[in-house]
């Protein structure tokens, strides 16, 4: 498969659009299927920011209730889930767009609003999908340096520099708050000040995949309260992280109803499946489970951060269910040694952070095992 085809009729690479030709697919980290085969239930998966507590039991029940209807197409509009989301966030159902994961929505935003000759602005060390979405459309990515190591929010988004990078060619700005893979965040006042600097013709996407896990006293800005004053601002959320439903692939966007209506034109028909619609609606109703899991996560995040720092590692502040830790020049060897012992973390070379590893905050038991194996490897 690795040999380049000699027959020009098989050269599909050169026939792809210019944006696609420059693209590399999203890198999910390790081959987890192979690792699961090798280690079985001993595999400790801390590489993909999944929720160790799982979804609400109500989500599972609601999903099972759909299994007799698998021969039917789902509700094409996802009206029930949209109504539930609208009630949760205090918006109109017409302001919500459902996606097969929020990854799909991030791609669709660039597809709808940017193209060749346009610019899309986002931060260095920003979520990997921003670059893929931008380049796929043929638009140019303007990547803004992250804040320096010694900043109050090391490697976080530099909102002033991002605003400075906006030009008449800018169509879209992607922000992630909190950001993956850094875990860093910015506050409400900073977002307000940023939005006053953004021309109304530029769409600002707030990827809030981890928003439900931020501490209430952490001042992690959410776009929701500012949607009414800034119709060019929107947010994306997901059921994959705090709700523990990564396997179902459901995300959503909240924004101006006019923006949603334009995006609906290219949404794939029935993009969210029936069992997923039912499960997410039920998960949304179980606020106690969400709160319980998020509190456990916050406790373990603090404990894990402290434990890693006690071992002399630099760990960035985080409001998510992962932490980014600096392992130095020996990172690749440490990572390999961890894999050999059945512990999966996420290497960060693709983000230009090859001396760091991203570690999902597991349950208390999982974190204990991680630290024990890490001590063995670092010794």
Given the rule CB under 6 A, which residues bind ligand PLP? 49, 101-103, 127, 176, 180, 207, 209, 238, 240-241, 246, 251
State the nearest-atom distance from the C-beta of 101 to ligand PLP, in Å: 3
Nearest residue (CB) to ligand PLP, 203 versus 374: 203
What's the closest the beta carbon of residue 14 comes to ligand PLP, in angstroms? Answer: 30
User: Which is nearer to ligand PLP, 125 or 241 (by Cβ)?
Assistant: 241
What's the closest the beta carbon of residue 104 comes to ligand PLP, in angstroms?
Answer: 7
Residue in 303, 300, 298 with CA at minimum distance from that of residue 319:
298
Min CB(267)–ligand PLP separation in Å: 15
- Closer of 362 and 374 to ligand PLP (Cβ): 362
- For ligand PLP, the nearest residue by Cβ is 101
* Joined tokens for residue 141: 């990515």
In the complex, minimum distance from the CB of residue 312 to ligand PLP, in angstroms, rounded to a whole number: 27
Residue nearer to ligand PLP on the CB measure, 180 or 294: 180
Residues in the chain: 379
Pair 223, 206: CB distance under 8 Å: yes
Give the residue with the Cβ less far from ligand PLP, 82 or 241.
Answer: 241
Q: Which candidate, 333, 360, 334, places its Cα nearest to that of 346? A: 360
Nearer to ligand PLP, 113 or 243 (CB): 243
């Amino acid at each position: 498969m690795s040999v380049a085809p000699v027959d020009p009729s098989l050269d599909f690479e050169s026939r792809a659009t210019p944006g696609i030709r420059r693209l590399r697919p999203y890198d999910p980290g390790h081959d987890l299927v192979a690792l699961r085969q090798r280690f079985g239930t001993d595999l400790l998966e801390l590489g993909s920011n999944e929720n160790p507590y799982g979804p609400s039991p109500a989500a599972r029940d609601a999903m099972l209730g759909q299994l007799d209807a698998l021969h039917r197409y789902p509700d094409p509009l996802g009206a029930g889930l949209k109504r539930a989301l609208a009630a949760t966030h205090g918006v109109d159902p017409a302001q919500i767009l459902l996606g097969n994961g929020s990854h799909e929505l991030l791609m669709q935003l660039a597809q709808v609003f940017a193209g060749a000759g346009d610019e899309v602005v986002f931060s260095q060390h920003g979520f990997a999908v921003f670059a893929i979405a931008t380049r796929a459309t043929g638009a140019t990515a303007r990547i803004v340096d992250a804040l320096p190591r010694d900043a109050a929010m090391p490697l976080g988004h530099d909102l002033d520099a991002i605003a400075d990078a906006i030009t008449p060619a800018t169509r879209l700005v992607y922000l992630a708050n909190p950001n993956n893979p850094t875990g860093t965040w910015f506050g409400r006042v900073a977002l307000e000040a940023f939005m006053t600097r953004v021309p109304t013709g530029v769409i600002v996407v707030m990827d809030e995949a981890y928003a439900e896990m931020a501490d209430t006293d952490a001042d992690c800005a959410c776009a929701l309260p500012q949607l009414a004053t800034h119709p060019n601002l929107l947010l994306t959320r997901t059921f994959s992280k705090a709700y523990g439903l990564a396997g179902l692939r459901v995300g959503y966007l909240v924004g101006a109803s006019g923006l949603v209506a334009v995006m609906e034109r290219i949404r794939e028909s029935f993009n969210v499946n029936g069992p997923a619609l039912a499960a997410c609606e039920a998960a949304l109703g179980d606020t106690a489970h969400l709160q319980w899991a998020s509190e456990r996560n916050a406790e373990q995040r603090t404990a894990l951060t402290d434990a890693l720092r006690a071992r002399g590692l630099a760990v960035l502040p985080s409001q998510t269910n992962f932490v980014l830790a600096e392992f130095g020049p020996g990172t690749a060897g440490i990572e390999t040694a961890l894999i050999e012992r059945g512990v999966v973390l996420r290497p960060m070379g693709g983000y230009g952070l090859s001396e760091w590893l991203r570690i999902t905050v597991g349950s208390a038991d999982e974190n204990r095992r991680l630290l024990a194996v890490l001590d063995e490897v670092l010794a």
